[in-house]
Amino acid sequence: MSSFQGVASRLCRRFAMTYAGTTRATAWKQNTSGVPSRFLAEADTVAAMSEHQHIDHDALAELRDVMEDEFAILVNTFLQDADDRLEQLRAGAASEDAEEVRKMAHSFKGSCINIGAPELAERCRTAEQRGRDGDLSDIHDCISAIEAELGAVRQELAHFRDG
């Protein structure tokens, strides 16, 4: 297994753990007998923040460590590719091509998982499901949600890349 495949595998596990409700803050809170309530309240805040993170900072830190100078290229490539995929999603929606929407959303979802953007991946999964079901009645809302989340991901990735 290459270093990149290992990192991608860890990213996928983190993505799955996030959606299984086992973020570090939540896991810590589950073992807190005798912990003062002010610390539990802080854990709730951390858990809520982690559930709304646009990017997985830990996974990206690992990816940056493995890729070193190539990390910026990876981020730039993802962002450029994301714009292209968003345009392809829009084109599929405009032509009411459910299969094209499904394929584009599925592919975009995989890229989001690999870069550590779980909420963006989830929004792509929703669009993918609409395409699979052949129901594009709210696909423009799905695409708007993807676009909004992509904006947030873009800002966080740029900050992470440049910081």
Rounded-to-integer distance, Cα 97 and Cα 138, Å: 13
- For the segment 32-57, the average pLDDT, to the nearest whole number, is 55
With cut-offs at 50, 70 and 90, classify the pLDDT of residue 13.
very low
CA–chain centroid gap for 80, Å, is 16
pTM of the model: 0.69
pLDDT at 160 over 60: yes
Dihedral sign from CA coordinates of 9, 120, 117, 105: positive
Lowest-confidence region among 41-50, 62-71, 110-119: 41-50
Q: What is the pLDDT of residue 33?
A: 52
Q: What is the pLDDT of residue 34?
A: 55
Q: What is the DSSP letter of 68?
A: G
pLDDT at 19 over 50: no
CA–chain centroid gap for 25, Å, is 19
CB-neighbour burial class of residue 81 (10 A; exposed 0-12, middle 13-18, buried 19+): middle
Most confidently modeled of 37-41, 47-51, 72-76, 99-103?
99-103
Domains of the chain: 3-51 (no CATH), 69-162 (1.20.120.160)
25-40, pLDDT tens digit by residue? 444 444 445 545 554 4
pLDDT at 94 over 90: yes
- For the segment 43-69, the average pLDDT, to the nearest whole number, is 72
Q: What is the pLDDT of residue 12?
A: 45
